[in-house]
Structure 1
Amino acid sequence: MRLPARRLLPATALTAASALLTGCFAGAESSADAGADGKRIRVAMMQPPRSGLSPLSDDAFKLSRWSAAETLVKLDKEGDAQPALATKWRQSGRSWTFEIRPGVTFHDGTELTAETVVNSLTRAATASPKPRILDGVELTAKADGDKVTVTTATEDPLVPQRLSSPQLSILAAKAYRGKTVDPVGAGTGPFELTKVNGTASASLDRYEDYWGEKAKAPGIDVKFVPDGTARAAALRSGEADIVESIPVSQAAVLDQDLITEVPMPRTNTLYLNTGKGAFKDASLRAAAREAIDAEAIVKGVYEGRADVAEGLLGPALPWAAELRGPVTRAAEAGKPNGEAITIGTYTDRSEMPEVAATLQQQLQKAGFKVKLDVREYTNIESDALSGRFDAFVLSRATVLDSGDPAAYLYSDFATDGTFNLSQFADKGVDKALKKASETKVGDARRKAIIEAEAAVLTQDAAVPMLHERVIQGDAAGVVDAAHDPRERELVTVDTYVK
Structure 2
Amino acid sequence: MRVPARLVPLTALTAVSALLTGCFSGSEPAADDSGPGGKRIRVAMLQPPRSGLSPLSDDAFKLSRWSTAETLVKLDKEGDAQPALATEWKQSGKSWTFTLRDGVTFHDGTKLTPEAVVASLTKAATASPKPRILDGVELTAKAEGDQVTVTTATVDPLVPQRLSSPQLSILAARAYKGKTVDPVGAGTGPFELTKVNGTSSATLDRYDDYWGEKAKAPGIDVKFVPDGTARAAALRSGEADIAEAIPVSQAAVLDQDLITEVPMPRTNTLYLNTAKGAFKNPALRAAAREAIDAKAIVEGVYEGRADVAEGLLGPALPWAAELRTPVKHATAGKANGQTITIGTYTDRSEMPEVAAALQQQLQKAGFKVKLDVREYTNIESDALAGRFDAFVLSRATVLDSGDPAAYLYSDFASDGSFNLSRFADPEADKALRKAADTPVGDARRKAIVQAEAAVLAQDAAVPMLHERVIQGDAAGVVNAAHDPRERELVTAETYIK
Measured against the shorter chain, the TM-score band is over 0.9
Distance 1:189 1:379, change over 3 A: same
The answer (yes or no) to whether the contact 1:9–1:229 under 8 Å persists in 2 is no
Quick one: distance in 1 between partners of 2:168 and 2:21? 34
User: What SS does structure 2 have at the residue aligned with 1:25?
Assistant: coil
Match of 2:21, SS state, is helix
Alignment of 1:365-404 (within 5 A): 365-404=364-403
Can you list the C-alpha shifts for 1:105-148, whole angstroms capped at 9, x where unaligned? 00000000000000000000000000000000000000011100
Counterparts of 1:165 and 1:364, CA distance in 2? 41
1:5 Cα shift? 4.0
- Say what the alpha-carbon RMSD is for the aligned residues: 1.0
The letter of the residue matching 1:484 is D
Find the aligned partners of 1:24 and 1:417 in 2 and give their Cα distance.
Answer: 39
Distance in 2 separating the partners of 1:430 and 1:169: 29
Q: Does 1:270 align with 2:270?
A: yes
- Are the equivalent residues in 2 in contact too, given 1:100–1:114 (CA < 8 A)? yes
Report Cα offsets for 1:394-452 as digits up to 9, x if no partner. 00000000000000000000000000000110010000000000000010000000000
Code of the residue aligned with 1:134 in structure 2: it is L
Aligned to 2:428: 429
Show the counterpart of 1:98. Answer: 98
Q: Give the aligned residue type for 1:374.
A: V
Show the counterpart of 2:479. Answer: 480
Partner of 1:295: 295
Counterpart for residue 451 of structure 2: 452
SS of residue matched to 1:226: coil
CA–CA distance in structure 2, aligned partners of residues 9 and 81 of structure 1: 46
How far apart are residue 388 of structure 1 and its match? 0.5
Aligned counterparts of 1:77 and 1:267: Cα–Cα separation in 2: 19
Residues 185, 193 of structure 1: 8 Å contact kept: yes
| Aligned-partner Cα distance in 1 for 2:155–2:178 | 31
Please state how far the C-alpha of 1:34 moved relative to its aligned partner: 3.0
Aligned residue for 1:31? 29
1:306 corresponds to which residue? 306
For 2:461 and 2:381, the matched residues in 1 are separated by 19
Deviation, structure 1 residue 80: 0.2
2:273–2:420: 8 Å Cα contact kept in structure 1?
yes
2:343–2:388 CA contact under 8 A, matched in 1: yes
- Confirm or deny: 8 A CA contact 1:323 1:450 kept in the other structure: yes
Answer whether contact 1:43 1:221 (CA < 8 A) is retained: yes
3-state SS of the aligned residue for 2:23?
helix
- Residue 117 of structure 1 aligns with which residue? 117
Structure 2: gaps (5+ residues): none
Separation in structure 2 between the aligned mates of residue 39 and residue 53 of structure 1, nearest angstrom: 25
Question: Partner of 1:44 in structure 2?
Answer: 44
In 2, Cα distance between the equivalents of 1:194 and 1:180? 17
Instruction: Note the 1:54-73 alignment, pairs <5 A.
Output: 54-73=54-73
CA contact (8 A) 2:4 2:249 kept: no
Distance 1:13 1:82 in 2: 47
Q: What's 2:335 paired with? A: 336
**TM-score (normalised: structure 2):** 0.98
SS in structure 1 of the partner of residue 372 of structure 2: strand
The 1-side partners of 2:8 and 2:402 are apart by 36
CA contact (8 A) 2:5 2:250 kept: no
Q: Deviations over 1:272-300 (max 9, x none)?
A: 00010000000000000000000000000
| Uncovered stretches (5+) of structure 1, i.e. residues with no partner | none
What are the residue-to-residue correspondences of 1:189-338 with 2, within 5 Å? 189-329=189-329, 331-338=330-337
The separation in 1 between residues aligned to 2:428 and 2:125, in whole angstroms, is 25
Determine whether 1:464 maps to 2:470: no
Q: Which residue of 1 aligns with 2:407?
A: 408
Q: Given the alignment of the two structures, is residue 138 of structure 1 paired with residue 138 of structure 2, yes or no?
A: yes
| CA pair 484-9 structure 1, distance change in 2 beyond 3 A | farther
Which digits, 9 at most, give the CA deviation of each residue in 1:324-353, with x for residues without a partner? 010011x20000111110000000000000
Counterpart-to-counterpart distance in 2, 1:394 and 1:232: 22
In structure 2, C-alpha distance between the alignment counterparts of 1:297 and 1:77, rounded to whole Å: 30
**Cα distance in structure 2, aligned partners of 1:433 and 1:116:** 33
The one-letter code of the counterpart of 2:356 is A
- Name the % identity: 86
Q: Does the 8 Å contact 1:9/1:250 carry over to 2? A: no
Q: Contact 2:477/2:494 (CA < 8 Å) preserved in 1?
A: yes
Could you say which residue in structure 2 is the equivalent of 1:348?
A: 347
C-alpha displacement at 1:222, in angstroms?
Answer: 0.3
Q: TM-score, normalised to structure 1's length?
A: 0.98
Output the CA distance in 1 between the equivalents of 2:401 and 2:13: 38
Aligned mates of 1:112, 1:104 — CA distance in 2: 6
Q: Which amino acid aligns with 1:380?
A: I
CA contact (8 A) 1:215 1:494 kept: yes
Shift of 1:6: 4.4
Q: Secondary structure at the match of 1:23?
A: coil
Instruction: Report if the CA contact (8 A) 2:5-2:253 is conserved.
Output: no
Contact 1:32/1:218 (<8 A) preserved: no
Q: Give the match for residue 78 of structure 1.
A: 78
Q: Would you say the 8 A contact 2:279–2:389 is kept in 1?
A: yes
Amino acid at match of 2:346: T
Report what 1:362 is aligned to: 361
Match of 2:308, as an amino acid? Answer: V
Report deviation, 1:307: 0.2
| Shift of residue 19, structure 1, vs aligned partner | 2.5
Alpha-carbon distance in 2 for matches of 1:154, 1:203: 41
Q: Which whole-Å CA distance do the structure 2 matches of 1:61 and 1:5 have between them? A: 32
1:177 Cα deviation (Å)? 2.1
- SS of the equivalent of 2:239 reads coil
Distance (whole Å) between structure 2 residues aligned to residue 25 and residue 379 of structure 1: 27
Match of 1:167 in 2: 167
- 8 Å CA contact 1:291–1:366 kept in 2: the answer is yes
